[in-house]
Structure 1
């Protein structure tokens, strides 16, 4: 297959390369502009060539990108959760219409429409995010190699040199784990970042499967695929991380930490029904309701009414300090005269 592709003239790929460059150019422009902006923000604090200046610039660049992608992320996680919740019903349809593939497809799509679930909705946000993440990766990776990518780095070549030479914990932001010999501070920094990046990715996926999925959704072939991805993705990141510069590892770690915190917030505030997260949310909601009821002021006791079986209210004596009290004066009820006729009044 590879040999067959190599026989294709390069001129055939030129239109596709031109289209890809036209799509990525605005993204390079935005990413490089945000990176240069945060470098200007942190330069007065740590210095323009400090590794901490560039590290914080990369961190805040990642945060800006992730904030802009929050609507896509929320839609993606809701769609993925809805698809997981519907898996038990999909398996029932597969058993019922195993002999009729056409009927199975029609009933499955009907189930998705009734529950407002779209199988493509969970993939579309991810596809829209890929060009942005690719632009971010290319800008950082190229800058670490000393090659400007994006308008704002092209017009400021000194910043590219500063980024490629900046160091943090004894490792340059442009350094990679390989070659591992001699083993030094660069390898140690890369190992720490790769481990942190892998662990945060694993926790994020495990949190989604264990906290926000009903028990029924954790069974079947689709759930088995999710469990396989739970371990395959971190391994891919760990193996591929040895070829990434320190600056790109910082970006991936920041992105994973943001995803983990964002997902924790969404699962805590908007859990799927029938999941452990939903049960915990119900317990917290009831506890808050009981706490508000306990804090609500109770109505004061008015005491026994005058003329009843209890003691009459007492009032302080005039001129006293309130210690000596006397019974309150009884209320006088005026007797109304009886109505008389004219003959009675004459008599």
Structure 2
């Protein structure tokens, strides 16, 4: 892991050197913006490096979506036989070169960066420069500068659960650190949830049980774990994670808008369509209305009712032009509901 710690430290320190030249006096609002911007720049550097992996993630998700009808068919075929279903699913993924684990690969690749920054910031403390100055390429001046760096008066090596003795060494207060760290952890949890939710809303829930389990883990499991573990993250690490989430939200929004996911199989619109016979039908429902006489089709008469009218049965059709003749009373037949009428008047003379 030393190689990872050294690489992360090198990127962080190079960005700090650059921002020190841009902002010679970087202390504003109790914040050392040179170190804060160096951490944000570290996020951007890592995300640019991992952008090709993110593109592969999107392509893999598109491939998984295209396979959803076949996945659903396999689930119906092997209902109750999970072992056979998983075997055929793996064969299908291998044949179509789709990887259900690709969806969370970028997150796994960023874990070493997170651990490297966490490991480095945990060792920052004033007066310890001689012990750590040669570790991972840090100089004594850089170590002391990072140890005293603050965000709105809260030291970036401090965390929500830091003791009063630790905060005294770092030059922070208990109330200030708890407020700053608490707000940042809440934002970190919210943006982590929104990042996963954004992707799932655009691509939909997977039909594959394994892929769906991964989606639920990313949507609910990771934010819940941060609620528990976020208290021990240094403020600098929380800044890194929150910035990464905000970057992911913007990146996903752009990619999903430029390359929208394919429409899910079996989904159609909800509007109405006109049939060739003049009737209307709801898209995706298969329900049609009745056509107009003379232009559409009508139900066929099969048999007669006691009152002399033909019975109509469903799913049988006859040309609509014969409806009038089929329903008209026979010559000489009495009407079903004769109305009482007075004697017919003879025309005058």
Q: TM-score, normalised by structure 2?
A: 0.61
Deviation by residue 1:86-119 (Cα, 9 ceiling, x = unmatched): 3453232132134767764553244324533123
| Equivalent in the alignment of 2:219 | 230
**Which of 121, 131, 139 pairs up with 2:120?**
139
Between structures 1 and 2, the one with greater strand share: 2
| Equivalent in the alignment of 2:198 | 207
Aligned CA distance change for structure 1 residues 149 and 193 (closer, same or farther; 3 Å): farther
CA shift, 1:38, in A, is 1.5
Deviation by residue 1:123-182 (Cα, 9 ceiling, x = unmatched): 5555444333322332233336855585321xx022112111112211111221124887
Cα distance in structure 2, aligned partners of 1:144 and 1:68: 31
Aligned CA distance change for structure 1 residues 106 and 61 (closer, same or farther; 3 Å): closer
Equivalent residues of 1:32, 1:149 under 8 A apart:
no
Asked if 1:189 corresponds to 2:180, the answer is: yes
Cα distance in structure 1, aligned partners of 2:216 and 2:82: 27
Aligned CA distance change for structure 1 residues 271 and 194 (closer, same or farther; 3 Å): same
Asked if 1:244 corresponds to 2:233, the answer is: yes
| Equivalent in the alignment of 2:248 | 259
| Equivalent in the alignment of 1:34 | 11
Aligned CA distance change for structure 1 residues 149 and 102 (closer, same or farther; 3 Å): farther
Between structures 1 and 2, the one with greater helix share: 1
Structure 2 gaps of 5+ residues are 165-172, 269-349
Which structure would you say has the larger RCO, counting Cα contacts within 8 Å and 6 or more residues apart? 1
Cα distance in structure 2, aligned partners of 1:149 and 1:267: 45
| Equivalent in the alignment of 2:257 | 268
| Equivalent in the alignment of 1:311 | none
| Equivalent in the alignment of 2:136 | 151
Structure 1 gaps of 5+ residues are 1-23, 280-347
Cα distance in structure 2, aligned partners of 1:70 and 1:194: 26
Count of paired positions: 250
**Which of 135, 155, 160 pairs up with 2:143?**
160
Deviation by residue 1:31-86 (Cα, 9 ceiling, x = unmatched): 21221112111224143786111111111112111111111222234324533553
Aligned CA distance change for structure 1 residues 128 and 177 (closer, same or farther; 3 Å): closer
Q: TM-score, normalised by structure 1?
A: 0.62
